[in-house]
Amino acid sequence: MDRISIYGISATGYHGVFEHEKRDGQTFIIDVVLHVDISRAAASDNVLDTVHYGEVSELVVEQITAGPWDLIEKLGSEIADAILAGYPSVATVDVVVHKPQAPIPVPFTDVTISLTRHQKQHSAVIALGANLGNPQATLAAAVAELGREVEILKASPLAITKPVGGPPDQPDYTNQVIQVRTTLGPHELLDLCQKIEAAHHRTREVRWEARTLDLDIITYDHLVLDDERLTLPHPRAAIRGFVLAPWSWMDPDAVLDGQLVSRLAEQAADTADIIRL
């Protein structure tokens, strides 16, 4: 994992067990190291694709000036939690809190605490489909490739389905649904899916055209998201039998938008033509 390091962020805080520390305040100095994949930013050269270290520094200062807390252990934990909550792409953060003016009755240079915190794990449902080449082998390869970056929790049986929409006279699709656990943020997971699609020569010239591989993020925790790249939950998942049926086979208790996936599958127009392998 790549790293972004910021050393020596300082501000006045009012943390300490003594009353005068909370009253008068003192300087706290913070070092943070962010473990994050910077390959997307390196390719795009766009600040929006990385963790803005100026913003992180301001966030750290906000935590220094918050509180007050008795212990710098608490301050360090608050800083780490704030960074992980604000930047899902940060997989791990290291925080060092320096308290050089600590009330110690002997000569000393510095007092520090160091801690490491990891991003919480997220659960996502991904739908896979293919109808060119050898679809079953392609789906198996795609699941294996995903498994090198995320943890595969469940995988549905394969389904043979009729094409829905798009150009006529397409071959039948092979579909599958998997559930994964990951520290990747939703856009980072989308990047991974698109990278794997590209490795299998996926093209996007005609909407709903025949394809070597399609990977769609259906849900990501309970996140509701709608931006230029990604909508969650997937906007058409609730009417797609080729997603709902294998999902219900994998997880009979799954819920989408407050409704049982198995019931939605029964209602989907294309479910009747699905063959379970």
Number of neighbours of residue 40 by Cβ within 10 angstroms: 17
pLDDT tens digits along 64-99: 999 899 999 999 999 999 999 888 789 899 999 999
Nearest 5°: the CA angle 163, 159, 221 is: 95
- Structure confidence at residue 209 (pLDDT): 63
Given a cut of 80, whether residue 168 has pLDDT beyond it is: no
Q: How far is CA 213 from the centre of its chain?
A: 22
Question: Tokens 């392609």 map to which residue?
Answer: 138
Which domains are assigned to the chain? 3-118 (3.30.1130.10), 122-276 (3.30.70.560)
Give the pair of three-digit tokens for residue 184.
């990747």
pLDDT tens digits along 229-276: 999 999 999 999 999 999 999 999 999 999 999 999 999 988 888 999
Catalytic residues: 99
Respond yes or no on whether the N-terminal peptide bond of residue 246 is cis (omega within 30° of 0).
no
Q: Is residue 234 within 8 Å of 251, Cβ to Cβ?
A: no
